[in-house]
Amino acid sequence: MFLSVKEMELRKIRFDETFEAGQIEFASENLEQTSPLHAVGSAELLKNTGGEVRIQGRYTVGLTAHCDRCLVSARHPLDAGFDLFYRPAATIARDEEIEIDEGETEIGFYDGGGLELEDILREQILLALPMQRVCSEDCKGICPICGKNRNQSDCDCSISKVDDRWGALRKLEI
């Protein structure tokens, strides 16, 4: 859905959109969309700002990703809000110095007369996902010796790798 600034000049745009898996590309991020992405919100042109646009709303979506530790596919249900500001890209050069000082609100840029809702949602979703995608905080991962998933069964492999902290202590004792 294209959020046209020309249309915003006339009225605030309201959206209530559902995107099925495959409509927005997540595969390159090793993510699989497992439930429809539903987004509701609005896009408006802010008065006396030289074209600044505010886009706010909420979305829900279910994604799965392989756990970074045990590789099992893990669910990441997301339900989040957003409140974003975008300026015309043509103003970058002119506002550059002011931009650095502003800090508190993140401002994006648009060109071509508006923004694609799909692009905004994709970016928000990727930002909302944790940097480390794990199936659970205390996932034990895969045994480096036998390759078993330690969450499913304990193995008898003795990990000979000594914890570095103890190694440091041992040196002190000598």
The one-letter amino acid at 99: E
End-to-end alpha carbon distance in the chain: 69
Q: Quick one: how far is CA 108 from the chain centroid? A: 15
In this chain, which of 84, 121, 135, 142 binds Zn ion, going by CB under 5 A? 135
Count the site residues for Zn ion by CB under 5 A.
Answer: 10
Reading the block at residue 131, the tokens are 């940097």
Contact, 22 vs 31, CB < 8 A? no
Interaction between residue 157 and Zn ion (CB under 5 A): yes
**Which parts of 61-120 interact with Zn ion (CB under 5 A)?**
67, 69-70
Task: Identify which of 154, 1, 111, 126 has the alpha carbon closest to the alpha carbon of residue 61.
Answer: 126
The residue range among 30-38, 41-49, 112-120, 128-136 that interacts with Zn ion, by the rule CB under 5 A, is 128-136
Q: Which stretch binds Zn ion (CB under 5 A): 20-28, 34-42, 110-118, 127-135?
A: 127-135
Contact pick of 1, 24, 129, 143 for Zn ion (by CB under 5 A): 143
The answer to the question of residue 139 lying near Zn ion (CB under 5 A) is yes
Q: Quick one: 29 or 52, whose CB is closer to Zn ion?
A: 29
Q: Which helix (H) or strand (E) holds 62?
A: strand 53-66
Rounded least distance, CB 28 to Zn ion, Å: 22
Residue type at 141 in one-letter notation: G
Q: Of the candidates 92, 121, 135, 110, which has an alpha carbon nearest to the alpha carbon of residue 6? A: 110
Candidate ranges 36-44, 54-62, 150-158, 159-167; the one touching Zn ion (CB under 5 A):
150-158
> Rounded to whole angstroms, how far apart are CA atoms 11 and 160?
67
Check binding of 5 to Zn ion (CB under 5 A): no
Position 155 contacts Zn ion (CB under 5 A): yes
How is residue 110 written in tokens?
Answer: 């648009």
Segment 6 to 35, residues that bind Zn ion, using CB under 5 A: none
Residues in contact with Zn ion by CB under 5 A are: 67, 69-70, 135, 139, 143, 145-146, 155, 157
